Amino acid sequence: MRVRLYQPSDLEALYQLDQSCFPPGVSYSRDEIAQFVAHRRSRTWVAEADGQLVGFLIAFRQPSKAGHIVTLDVAEAWRRRAVGTALMDAAEAWVRGAGAELIYLETAEDNLAAQAFYRKRGYQKVKRIEEYYANRAAAWVMAKRL
């Protein structure tokens, strides 16, 4: 498995993976993903193995010395195989290198596996947001000091 920067030819694979990782109302549309990866303050990393995209992460650097993880997607067959760790390492290093002091993300209230993964990386629950997702599910904002 290797991690590399996003290329425009990856867009369809990112969209398909996001659709398989998250339910409707939580997953992003193709246009939303395209807008995220094209934003001037964003960076997207792709994990691939055997020529297949097995994960990706989109992050933003914010003017307020903070970083934001927009999404972390890992194909089901590749979970618990350090794909998410490698992608998070890349994003946190990028944000830290830009002088950020904090990085944060949102995760569904019922996504206990994700919450445990982030907790192991030093993230803490900061705030619960009611009806955060389009499907009206609540989310936790989790943050980490860099």
Q: Mind giving me the DSSP string for 56-94?
A: EEEEEEETTTEEEEEEEEE-GGGTTTTHHHHHHHHHHHH
pTM to 2 decimal places: 0.95
- Strand boundaries in 12-51, DSSP class E: 42-49
pLDDT digits (tens, 9 = 90+) for 59-86: 999 988 999 999 999 999 999 999 999 9
For range 83-91, the mean pLDDT: 98
Q: Is the per-residue pLDDT at 113 higher than 90? A: yes
Please report the domains of the chain, with CATH numbers, ordered by start residue: 2-103 (3.40.630.30)
pLDDT for res 135: 85
Closest C-alpha among 106, 110, 103 to residue 140: 106
Closest C-alpha among 108, 133, 105 to residue 32: 133
Query: In this structure, what token pair is assigned to residue 107?
Result: 């995760």
Tell me which DSSP letter residue 28 carries: P
